[in-house]
Structure 1
């Protein structure tokens, strides 16, 4: 009798697990379900069940493990809920929280280890260095994932694990309050859009959960600062990033979905999400499968070759084959970010309904020649809002950004990510690119139909224009502008018309992308304002979408 009862209970438990999985998966439309399943299949292969962590997804870390991606994977396991997934998710969650820094006296309090094998931060062998030995943004990435897990799948975990997760989120939120832009090498201002959005939400949500009015108020106040920057031109300060716009969309979705009705983030999250998508729709070129430049932060020069988180959202909206991904996504550069895809898929039933229909249409089919004229503002780096112009036509896009900043390389202070002037076109079989490598803190880059005009207002005779140009399948050796595939170009300006050509093909790739570098200098002792004008037209490009 007891044996029979045990069997019945076991079978009942299995049926409940299958039913719970089916009930969530059945809510997903075809495209997000495919994204969830493909990303989880890939992560399954990277999982170390004995350790309870994902291996480092770069495959270049000698089998070290990874904390942040493990947290994302754990939420994906809860969503899938098959064959012991919940048990493995619980194991991962406990491991991630075990690696959370617990000393309130340390600047890194509440954030999480980057990998479990690392020495103690602050030890002689591992001195504290922000964004190096510890990452303050891990608080937001992990706690946001945990909040999504609690909101969507809290019924699958035990009360003791629930309390553990809640406590971890609280500690991460307190630790995030230590962050002040410009103090102790921290750069978290309201203009640092993706972690700022997560910080505001986590503070408000956590304060509400713990009945901590000060924490709730801090989140709402911080959200208002972000909103004020956004409302100026309906743009995120961290503008037009294939990767970080994707993160901001996840964060704005949590604003809209999980904030209480009394929160400013509830309605503003919807508005900001929709306005952000409208801008994405204006700048996205479906024939090229790329966001037209400029890009404040990019991990490559062609979204068909590196995984951009915005691609996961586009996949959910219009399908994998139409999105800027290849069939074998893990082979793309920067593919580790594919690990966030379970969160994108989980949020998609709520999120996708908020995306304007006109935007979805513009992601699918090119809407014809048009221009974009807008601005974005990153305080304290910008002395005035950055002015953004773009022109898109059949198989070509041109984008430019005009600004005067206190740093070189945009607010991320990284010229390898900052692309203030960009041309992309269909070469006939792939996307070609020309992008300016930023060497000046003040640039006027203006896109017009068929032209890109770049000026250095504060430049002098020592200024240079470094134009990074894509390799071409049919032209393995590039030495002049005539070697560009599918594009005719005329160059003029105050620059010396003679230019030098170098390449990255030895050991100088940027974000895994090879390029030719055409460098123009100013005439010796020139007193003219540095300027270069690129006038372009397509030459024999195919009229179809890049595949």
Structure 2
């Protein structure tokens, strides 16, 4: 049985564009934009720095604990700013973090770094080893790549003994990262897991060359080839179109392009992969809405103007803060903790931004006109065939969706809260953005996207199958009580198909309702 639903969707905004078309920016302005991002983010991070402990205080904890990854990002920013005792504090942070690195080669988390310094011993009776909970294997990549940036960009500021300490730490982290095999020990690191895979490859290749370890160098190059092979089949990241993780992948690809030599596959392909990724992002971006159209493999929000995305930080360095999807107070946005990676984005911007095509820069500033984007992405072992992606993008309304057949529910990340296989966004009269997204409940979906239409079918559906949509709340002045599609502000939705046309409406709010909020 195929469960089928067709939605006709129309924006009710018939007047002029919501956002005024900004003036064009010059590439020469980008250095100023990057400097602005560096100093604004560092001023914010300064407020969290605990000079007594040599760590950043946690952005979230109620008990004044600290956190490791953001501290290292802050240390890189201290070296870039290089004022007063910045270098001294950066060195102190680095020593603290490396001193607490996990050192038992028999443990799965060998060479990894603490999530926070107050935590008990991972794997102890009181603190069981739970991947992505009590320890995070991706911290090797995040902290390792940051050490690489610091050693490449600021060796003149770092004492030689500390450089040696960092290289030893990187070597141990790379060995520990080799313990990761997708599908074993609850680990999910496959080449298709783009952001940590790209970081893994570059750290292994870079450290192997520095340490004169040919096995480590070869391991990095071999892994890079698997990533490249997945990418070049349609010039897309397997971890497709994520405001957060496309940003991480672009950061890591910048290390490929800038630091790896010509005899490295990473050095040969890094720049090309950055250009292709930005070309597609530019085609999917709607400058009127200041949003990248869906679908999104992993998202922590549904409107880039309201949650802090790493991709938006990169846009800040390209077109300026006022033209990027960033709130005037970035630290007030959802997922604000990612603002702490800003120093790295700013440090690499002068090189990275030379690889962004002119057509993309133009599309980040003004909407080029109604168009359709078709592409695909592939994430083995979860996809039985590449996910086929279509987005229809008009001045006030975007519709994007993907067809897929997978062996999991929730996309390759196996997360129903972050996987958004069908997304609609629209402009509202007050300049805000409305949205709706299909909540994933099946392993196979067939879609067709057209002008104002979204066709959804469950090829493996049955009588119990249902379509559930998350819909954003109305604008500040809009209705609070929503009982039907007619109460949704700024859009008209008509639903037909081999489905029961009756539906229920529930509210999931911060302080109650039918369930917890989804983000």
Task: Please point out which of 499, 503, 509 is paired with 1:499.
Answer: 503
Unaligned runs of at least 5 residues, structure 2: 1-27
Highest Rg: 1 or 2?
A: 1
Shift of residue 228, structure 1, vs aligned partner: 0.3
1:355 aligns with 2:350: no
**1:420, 1:445 within 8 Å by CA — same for their partners in 2?**
no
Counterpart of 1:38 in structure 2 is 40
**2:508, 2:516 within 8 Å by CA — same for their partners in 1?**
yes
Q: Secondary structure at the match of 1:155?
A: coil
TM-score when normalising by structure 1: 0.88
**2:30, 2:317 within 8 Å by CA — same for their partners in 1?**
no
Counterpart of 2:395 in structure 1 is 394
Q: Secondary structure at the match of 2:322?
A: helix
What is the CA–CA distance in structure 2 between the aligned matches of 1:241 and 1:337, rounded to whole Å?
14
Highest RCO, 1 vs 2 (Cα 8 Å, sep ≥ 6) = 2
After TM superposition, the structure 1 = structure 2 runs for residues 97-108 of structure 1, keeping only pairs within 5 Å, are: 97-108=98-109
Counterpart of 2:166 in structure 1 is 165
**1:27, 1:349 within 8 Å by CA — same for their partners in 2?**
no
What is the CA–CA distance in structure 1 between the aligned matches of 2:29 and 2:258, rounded to whole Å?
16
Shift of residue 27, structure 1, vs aligned partner: 11
Shift of residue 29, structure 1, vs aligned partner: 1.1
CA distances 1:21-56 after superposition (whole Å, capped 9, x unpaired): xxxxx9971100000000000000011110000011
Counterpart of 1:463 in structure 2 is 465
Task: Please point out which of 467, 480, 483 is paired with 1:479.
Answer: 483
**1:425, 1:432 within 8 Å by CA — same for their partners in 2?**
yes
Shift of residue 369, structure 1, vs aligned partner: 0.3
**Root-mean-square deviation (CA), in Å?**
1.2
What is the CA–CA distance in structure 2 between the aligned matches of 1:81 and 1:116, rounded to whole Å?
26
Task: Please point out which of 432, 435, 438 is paired with 1:433.
Answer: 435
Counterpart of 2:450 in structure 1 is 448
CA distances 1:326-382 after superposition (whole Å, capped 9, x unpaired): 100100010000000100000011010110000010111001000011100001000
Size of the aligned set, in residue pairs, is 486
Shift of residue 98, structure 1, vs aligned partner: 1.3
Shift of residue 79, structure 1, vs aligned partner: 0.4
Counterpart of 1:174 in structure 2 is 175
Counterpart of 1:116 in structure 2 is 117
Distance 1:109 1:440, change over 3 A: same
After TM superposition, the structure 1 = structure 2 runs for residues 50-449 of structure 1, keeping only pairs within 5 Å, are: 50-58=52-60, 60-429=61-430, 430-449=432-451
Unaligned runs of at least 5 residues, structure 1: 1-25, 513-547
Q: Secondary structure at the match of 1:387?
A: strand
What is the CA–CA distance in structure 1 between the aligned matches of 2:342 and 2:360, rounded to whole Å?
21
**1:399, 1:446 within 8 Å by CA — same for their partners in 2?**
no
Shift of residue 446, structure 1, vs aligned partner: 2.4
What is the CA–CA distance in structure 2 between the aligned matches of 1:351 and 1:272, rounded to whole Å?
12
**1:300, 1:510 within 8 Å by CA — same for their partners in 2?**
no
1:490 aligns with 2:494: yes
**2:30, 2:319 within 8 Å by CA — same for their partners in 1?**
no
Q: Secondary structure at the match of 1:464?
A: coil
